[in-house]
Amino acid sequence: MNKIKLMSHLVAGYPTNELAYQAARALVKGGADILEIQLPFSDPSADGPAIQTACTQVLSRGYKTADGLKFIEGLHKEFPNVKIYIMSYGSLIYTPGIDAFCKKASECGVTGMIIPDLPFDHDEGLTASCKKYGMENIPVAAPSMSDERLSKLAHSGFKYIYAALRAGITGTNTKIDEATLSFLKKVSAGGSLVYGGFGISNGEQSAALAESVEAVVAGSVFVRIISENQGDAKKLSQAVEAKAKEICNI
């Protein structure tokens, strides 16, 4: 099998800026094609314990959205050819003004925005602002959507759609079965490229998804590895790189 594309998730500044940069380097070295950077948020509605804990720890340092954007800017300078997407929640980008936020994000090197709590058809102008500044708004599809609504999203003309492979929160194991693959077919029915994630943590899962998605998304698994190895930077880098290679089938 060929290398599987990977979108890897990191919480900006976790556990420290330097260790977060080291983790990002290890992800890229391990084959990650896209770095999905989460701006720490106090009450993430879909994130499981690993990511919630990471966000809480970063925020306890007084970390601001501006710090997260500066972190992303540093990543872009180091890896100008790696796509960087922001994952955040609506209030963080709505408060400063969506247009102003998108302008700043694009200047930092961001090429895509994933904002799960802004629905594709009531996005407060996010899609238009992303287009204005050369970015993609990447809406989220969930298995809980009705077939009618899922079809409407699939045929709305988005270049990419993020498919959450099951309901609930991230971080627990996801079984890839016929229902999962059927859902992914519905998401891609309008021609959008699909990123599939939620509970992806090993090569067996990514191999099962590979033919149905543009890239596999893995997040909590890396956050847990970073958390477990934050006292040993070398071990952290090695473990993150090894897991990325496993998921990418390298």
Q: Which residues are catalytic?
A: 36, 47
Q: What is the DSSP letter of 2?
A: P
| 8 Å CB contact between 229 and 57 | no
Q: Is residue 121 classed as helix, strand or coil in its secondary structure?
A: coil
Rg, Å, the chain Cα set: 17
Beta 112-114 vs 136-137: how paired, if at all? Answer: parallel
* Residue 15, preceding peptide bond in cis (omega within 30° of 0): yes
| Residue type (1 letter), 186 | K
Helices (H), the chain: 17-29, 49-59, 65-78, 90-94, 98-107, 126-132, 147-154, 178-187, 203-209, 220-228, 233-248
